[in-house]
Chains A and B, each alone.
Chain A
Amino acid sequence: MTTIDLRGVCCPINFVKAKLALEELTTGDVVEILLDDGEPVKNVPRSLKGEGHKLLGLKETAEGHYLLTVEKGEE
C-alpha cells in the first residue's frame, strides 16, 4: 500500500499534499497517510471526508504519529 508521509507538514499544507497525492490515484484505491499528532490528525481526516474520500481507519504508531487509511472517492 502507498504511504503518504506528511509528518512535519503543517496545516493546511498537509491536506493539500494529501489531496494532490490522491488525485494521482484511481477511485477505490486505498492509501495510508502518516500524520502528526495534534492539529494534523484532527483536521486532515475531516477535510478528506469533506472532499468525498472514505476514511477507513486510524492507528497510532509506536512513535506517536497517526496512520490514517483512506479510500479514494469519486472524482
Chain B
Amino acid sequence: MTIDLNNLKAGGFIKERGKDLFTVRLRVPGGRMAIPRLKKIAEVAEKYGGEFVHLSVRQSIELININFKHFAAVVEELGEASQKVASCGARVRVPVACGGCEYNPNGLVDTQKSALEVDQKLFGAPTGHHKFKVAFAGCPFDCPKSATNDVGFQGAVVPKLDPAACIRCGLCAKNCTPGAIIMGEGSKPLLDPHPCIWCGDCVKVCPTGAWEAKRTGYNVRIGGKWGRNPTVGTLFATLLPQEDVVEFITRVLAWYKDKAEGLGRIRLGDIIIKEGPQPLLEYLREKFPASVVAETIPPQIIDNQIGARR
C-alpha cells in the first residue's frame, strides 16, 4: 500500500496512543465554520473516525481515531467541502479570532477578515524554530486572550466627541466602565484619555452619534505563550491599521527567524527576553512608524510555576 506523505508535510496529523491511529486537526481560521463544511466533517468523521470529534482550544475540530491508511481518503473527501487540514510543529498556526464585528455588538474590528487573510497568506510557513501563534480579539474585552500568543491583535477605537451633536444624556459616562468619561459643567461629557481603554462603549451607546471613532485599529502585543513557562506578551504597537496585519506579522517572523538562528527550539517571547524588547521595537518601527510604541517592556514571566526557570 502507498501512503501519500505529502499530506503529512504541513503537520495536522498527530499520533494517538492506539496502534495506527491519528488525530486529524482541521483548519478552521477564526473558528468560523460554514454549515455545509460542518456537515461534510460529520460525514467524514462518522465514516473514518471514532465516536466523537474533539473541539480544540484553538477553535479546530479534530477528527479522532483516524487510521493512517485513510489519510488520502479523509483529505480528499474533506476537500469536497473545501475543508483543509491544519498544522502542527514549528510553523505558523491557524489564527484564532472572536466572532468579529458583523453580528457581535462588542466587536470593533473585522477579526474574521484578518484571521482569514493571515490564514491564506501565512498558514503553515515554517519558522525554523518553534510554533508561532496569532490571535485576533475584536475589542479590549479580549475573549481570545490575544496577549498569550506570539503576536496578539486587539481591536480598539479612540473616541472623539462632536459637542454639537451631544444631547447631554449622560449614557456615555454611565457606560464607561473605566470611568474615563465624567459629566462636567452643563452636563457636558469630559474624556480623560489616561484611564480610557479604547473599548468604544461610549460610541456604541451614544444615541446621536456624537461620540465617534477618531481612530480604529489593532493594539498589538508580542511575545506571549502558554505551556510550561507562560509569558504574557507586551504592547509593541497601537492602532495598527487592519490592512497592515499580514505585513506586520511577516516582519515579526523575519526578526524571529534571524535572531533565533542556532538557538534551537525557542519561542519568540524567549528571544525577546534574551535580546530585550528594543531591537524588535526598532526593527518594526522602520516599517510602521505611526503604530509602533515609543517603548515597551519584555514579555512578562508568570513566575509562580513548578520548576525553576533556567
Q: Are A50 and B105 closer than 8 Å at their CB atoms? A: yes
Nearest CB to that of A41 among chain B residues? B174
Given contacts A46-B204, A49-B205, A50-B105, contact A57 B169 (CB under 8 A): yes
Asked if B171 is at the interface of the complex by the 8 Å CB criterion, the answer is yes
Given contacts A45-B205, A46-B205, A49-B205, contact A56 B169 (CB under 8 A): yes
Q: How many residues of A contact B (CB 8 A)?
A: 13
In the assembled complex, which residues on chain B have CB atoms less than 8 Å from the CB atom of A46?
105, 175, 201, 204-205
Asked if A58 is at the interface of the complex by the 8 Å CB criterion, the answer is yes
Given contacts A49-B205, A54-B207, A56-B207, contact A42 B174 (CB under 8 A): yes
In the assembled complex, which residues on chain A have CB atoms less than 8 Å from the CB atom of B128?
none
Most buried by B among A47, A50, A55, A66: A55
A28-70 vs B, CB cutoff 8 Å, 1 = contact: the mask equals 0000000000000110011101100011111000000010000
What's the nearest-Cβ distance from chain A to residue B156, in Å? 18
B27-61 vs A, CB cutoff 8 Å, 1 = contact: the mask equals 00000000000000000000000000000000000
CA distance A29 to B169 in the complex (A): 19
Q: Are B105 and A58 closer than 8 Å at their CB atoms? A: no
Within 8 A of A (CB), among B203-242: 204-205, 207
Identify which of A47, A50, A55 contacts B171 (C-beta below 8 A): A55
What's the nearest-Cβ distance from chain A to residue B205, in Å? 5
In the assembled complex, which residues on chain B have CB atoms less than 8 Å from the CB atom of A47?
105
Q: Are B175 and A42 closer than 8 Å at their CB atoms? A: yes
Within 8 A of A (CB), among B168-201: 169-171, 174-175, 177, 201
Q: Are A58 and B167 closer than 8 Å at their CB atoms? A: no
Chain B interface size, as a band, is: 10 to 19
Given contacts A41-B174, A42-B175, A46-B204, contact A56 B167 (CB under 8 A): yes
CA distance A50 to B204 in the complex (A): 9
In the assembled complex, which residues on chain B have CB atoms less than 8 Å from the CB atom of A50?
105
What's the nearest-Cβ distance from chain A to residue B106, in Å? 10
Given contacts A46-B105, A50-B105, contact A55 B174 (CB under 8 A): no
In the assembled complex, which residues on chain B have CB atoms less than 8 Å from the CB atom of A49?
204-205, 207
In the assembled complex, which residues on chain A have CB atoms less than 8 Å from the CB atom of B175?
42, 45-46
In the assembled complex, which residues on chain B have CB atoms less than 8 Å from the CB atom of A41?
174
CA distance A67 to B169 in the complex (A): 11
CA distance A24 to B175 in the complex (A): 28
Q: Are A57 and B174 closer than 8 Å at their CB atoms? A: no
What's the nearest-Cβ distance from chain B to residue A48, in Å? 9
CA distance A70 to B33 in the complex (A): 38
In the assembled complex, which residues on chain B have CB atoms less than 8 Å from the CB atom of A66?
174
Given contacts A41-B174, A46-B105, A50-B105, contact A57 B167 (CB under 8 A): yes
List of 6 A-B pairs having minimum Cβ-Cβ separation, nearest first: A55-B207, A57-B169, A46-B205, A58-B169, A58-B171, A42-B175
Q: A55-B169, A56-B167, A57-B167 are in contact. List 16 more A-B contacts (CB 8 A).
A: A42-B175, A42-B177, A42-B205, A45-B207, A47-B105, A49-B204, A49-B205, A49-B207, A54-B207, A55-B171, A55-B205, A56-B169, A57-B169, A58-B170, A58-B171, A66-B174
Q: Using CB atoms and an 8 Å cutoff, list the residues of chain B in contact with chain A.
A: 105, 167, 169-171, 174-175, 177, 201, 204-205, 207
Can you report 15 residue pairs joining A to B where beta carbons are below 8 Å apart? A41-B174, A42-B177, A42-B205, A45-B171, A45-B175, A45-B205, A46-B105, A49-B207, A54-B207, A55-B169, A55-B171, A56-B169, A57-B170, A58-B170, A58-B174
